[in-house]
Structure 1
Amino acid sequence: MNEIFDILPYFLLMLVRLTSFFLLAPVFSMRGVPTQFKVGIAAFLAFVAVSTLPIGETILLDSSYFLLIIKELATGLALGFTAALVLYTVQIAGAFIDFQMGFSMANVLDPQTGAQVPIIGHFKYMMALLFLLTVNGHHLMLDGVMQSLRVFPVERLAISVEAGDIAQFMTSLFVEMFMIALQIALPIVGALFLVDIALGILAKTVPQLNIFAVGLPLKIFVGFIMLFLTMPVFFYILQILFEKLLVSMAQLISLLGGT
């Protein structure tokens, strides 16, 4: 009985980190995933972790335990946000494409998040999620958050990294993801830009032509053709993105753990 009371504080702290990770992590944070499932799988993983990882000194349920809970909540949210930020790159790229195709005013309601999202961006994001599930990327994310319990133990209150280092890591990650989003959208955006130039020349040479009636359907047609042609490149970049997702989680864990 005493052993149960000794490991219970560890179990609760691990549960906090895992559940907070599921709040923001791709796939797990979707509204279609029942809350009972999220809590259940978090409790199961916490039980596995507390059964396999070495348990240190007994954690006292005093005021410092409340600080440990806050630390675990922040750690889980940071890991989940890092994973989500990498995947939202695809949606940002889709927003660039929507703007050029003329779909920027035609946002759709994402039933998973309840937010208004661009059409092409939502399409690419769903394709990325399906590809993530196909290559078992969700398993790798779970492995990453489980590794964080070993590298950055729940009983450690002090964080051996300055806040500026974490901010710099997040900023550099955001900049890198923004550049990758531009690379994903650049072929389609570039083709549509050439269409705009051609339409501009056509408007000057044939003033009688209603360029708006011709231009919008033409840009949509060219956009869908380019979207189809660049699909293999898109999946290749997705592989790079998923590798970056795992590397970013590992880097954040190393920063927090001071390794």
Structure 2
Amino acid sequence: MNTIFEMYPYLLLIFVRLTSFFLVAPLFSMKGVPNQFKIGLGFFISLIALSGMDAEEALLMDSYYILLIIKELAVGIALGFTAALLLYTVQVAGAFIDFQMGFAIASVMDPQTGSQVPIIGHFKYILALLFLLTVNGHHLMLDGVMQSFKSFPVESVSFSASFGDITHFFTTLFVEMFVIALQIAIPIVGALFLIDIALGILAKTVPQLNIFAVGLPLKIFVGFIMLFLSMPIFFYLLQILFEKIMVSMSQLIRLMGGP
């Protein structure tokens, strides 16, 4: 296939998968990233992906082609959702910490989702995004999408896995997300739990002391100290989390139809 018109259907399918990935993937889906940039980036990466494809037969833009577009849309959203879901682990860990520190009723607006998120969770999420840029995690995510074109070609419409297998995959991913969130939050939550025990004992031994007036500032003070001391553990777990994102994306591609 040498003509541009014969390659155009393949280019459109690649473009649909990439742009749908950008809709939900971390960093790319942020509202601060202009839509023109997302479309332009998707188009130029589509050209790069198209140059490495070995298309053997022409695709007709008929009813079957509409099914291919829907399939590409689903694949791109599934890949982006997998990456975003694991990165939201950091916000879940921050919600655990906020509850123990007394910040549960305070929240800030997340510009990416437009929803209210916990303060510490949002702080850790911003750190995670900056760390993701530092270690070129966005390049790894793009590489994962590019590899998906080889593992799951755009001209194939059949899924090798059943709906139950894909459901089991995302259910397992949810469980792992909460486990990693607990690992991130456990140093601070554990320390604040010990503070609660100490305050409870103090309330019994010194009834005249106003525990609520003393306990809240103390928990906030200890929480910020532990937040600072646990930063090395946090970034170590982020490395494991980013590796898990790449592995989960490749597992999803193999599950849906790749070798």
Q: Aligned partner of 1:54: which letter?
A: D
* Counterpart position of 1:14: 14
Quick one: distance in 2 between partners of 1:38 and 1:17? 12
Q: After superposition, where does 1:84-233 map in structure 2 within 5 Å?
A: 84-233=84-233
- SS of structure 2 residue aligned to 1:69: helix
1:185-217 deviations in Å (ceiling 9; x for gaps):
011101000000111111111111111111000
Quick one: distance in 1 between partners of 2:176 and 2:145? 22
1:77 paired with 2:74, answer no
Quick one: distance in 1 between partners of 2:242 and 2:258? 24
Quick one: distance in 1 between partners of 2:158 and 2:231? 46
Q: Aligned partner of 1:230: which letter?
A: S
Quick one: distance in 2 between partners of 1:258 and 1:157? 12
Quick one: distance in 1 between partners of 2:218 and 2:56? 66
* Counterpart position of 2:34: 34
| Contact 2:109–2:116 (CA under 8 A) maintained in structure 1 | yes
Q: Aligned partner of 1:26: which letter?
A: P
List gaps (5 residues or longer) in structure 1.
none
How many residues align structurally? 259
| Contact 2:158–2:257 (CA under 8 A) maintained in structure 1 | no
Following superposition, the deviation at residue 139 of structure 1 comes to: 0.3
- SS of structure 2 residue aligned to 1:108: strand
Q: Aligned partner of 2:3: which letter?
A: E
* Counterpart position of 1:242: 242
1:29-83 deviations in Å (ceiling 9; x for gaps):
0011110000000000111111111113111111011111110000000000000
Q: Aligned partner of 2:193: which letter?
A: F
1:68-106 deviations in Å (ceiling 9; x for gaps):
111000000000000001111011000000000000100
- SS of structure 1 residue aligned to 2:112: coil
| Contact 1:68–1:157 (CA under 8 A) maintained in structure 2 | yes
Scaled by the length of structure 2, the TM-score of the pair is 0.98
Change (3 A) 1:7 1:156: same
Following superposition, the deviation at residue 257 of structure 1 comes to: 2.1
Greater shift in the superposed pair: 48-57 or 28-37: 48-57
| Contact 2:188–2:227 (CA under 8 A) maintained in structure 1 | yes
Quick one: distance in 2 between partners of 1:191 and 1:16? 48
Quick one: distance in 1 between partners of 2:33 and 2:9? 27
